[in-house]
Amino acid sequence: MFKLLTPTVVCLILSSSSVAAASMQWFSLGYFRYPDIPGSKIMSFDLEKANLASARYVKIVDAGSGASIDAIVASRFSGSDGYADEVRDFFAGRGGDAKSMEAALGKPDYGAVKVSYAKLGKDGWITLDMGPREEIIDGPGDDFEIYSVGSADAIVVYVSSGEPVGQLHRLEVGSVAFGSISVESSPGTIVYLDGREIGEVPRWLDNVTAGSHEVILKNPHETFRDLISVEANHVTRIKHSFLVEVPKLFRLTEKAAGDKLKAAGFRVKVKYATNEEYPFGRVIAQSPKAGEKAHAGSTVKITVNREAKY
């Protein structure tokens, strides 16, 4: 139903000055948005996209203005049931309800007159444990579903087979407190934290010491630097879209123009027109124009000349 083409691995192996302990390995299944329709909504996910044979933990992160999570349902599982058993950590977020988090456990209330759900506010997250020896198992097709009751909820979903480090919303070690960092940017962007390469976006970093940190985002076009302040028990979100020069597409074939745009990090939208002054099958117009700059990941419109149909 909802698929990503490329898995993203979040492997935190950082110096002790930045992280309390080695975090578990998180694999991003990406950004998803539920359809804006009344009632319960379901999204399906495939562990194969993260190259995982099994996953015990699912982290759901709000990527909009809040999310309402009813339940996780595994299609294939190794134990007695396919539902989450425990809330391992959470941050309710702005407008969220910390007392509601356990409503995401067990069976979904799908179809019920009154549905209970975990209410995540803006920037909130929840990590659900499927239970010991009750992992989600990868198999043909989709492997688990997330039920929501919110209106057009947007979420980022991570999975892991590892052991979590603790309750992040209460975690303190000695006098040192920790927060998390979420990084989103243009495709192909590499994240660096305090000079150490972390990997490609999207990134979720747990157990970062509270205080100032330098984040660097690099892609083939430019470098972005930001000095951020991480708050204890909160998520610091970084969203940055790079400006990229739009290539010249005039007189290219539709395929050649599409390939060139994708290589530059753009999406493409094609429309057709007839102009007998130019060869058929070639681009005769584009927007934005060649040489202008646009955000990486944005859409460039091209007009392809084709013979009129009578």
The CA distance from 29 to 283, in Å, is 35
pLDDT in tens, 36-57: 666 668 889 999 888 889 999 9
C-alpha–C-alpha distance, residues 135 and 93, integer Å: 27
pLDDT of residue 18: 31
Domains of the chain: which residue ranges? 8-160, 178-240, 243-305
Nearest to 92 by CA among 209, 230, 234, 237: 234
Tell me, yes or no, if the two domains 8-160 and 243-305 fold the same way. no
What confidence score (pLDDT) does residue 36 get?
66
Q: What is the pLDDT of residue 230?
A: 87
**CATH number 3.30.10.20 given to 243-305:** yes
pLDDT in tens, 55-87: 999 999 888 888 999 999 999 888 888 999 999
The mean per-residue pLDDT over the stretch 176-188 comes to: 77
CATH of 178-240, one of 3.30.1490.120, 2.60.40.10, 2.40.100.20, 3.30.70.120: 2.60.40.10
What's the CATH class of domain 8-160?
Answer: mainly beta
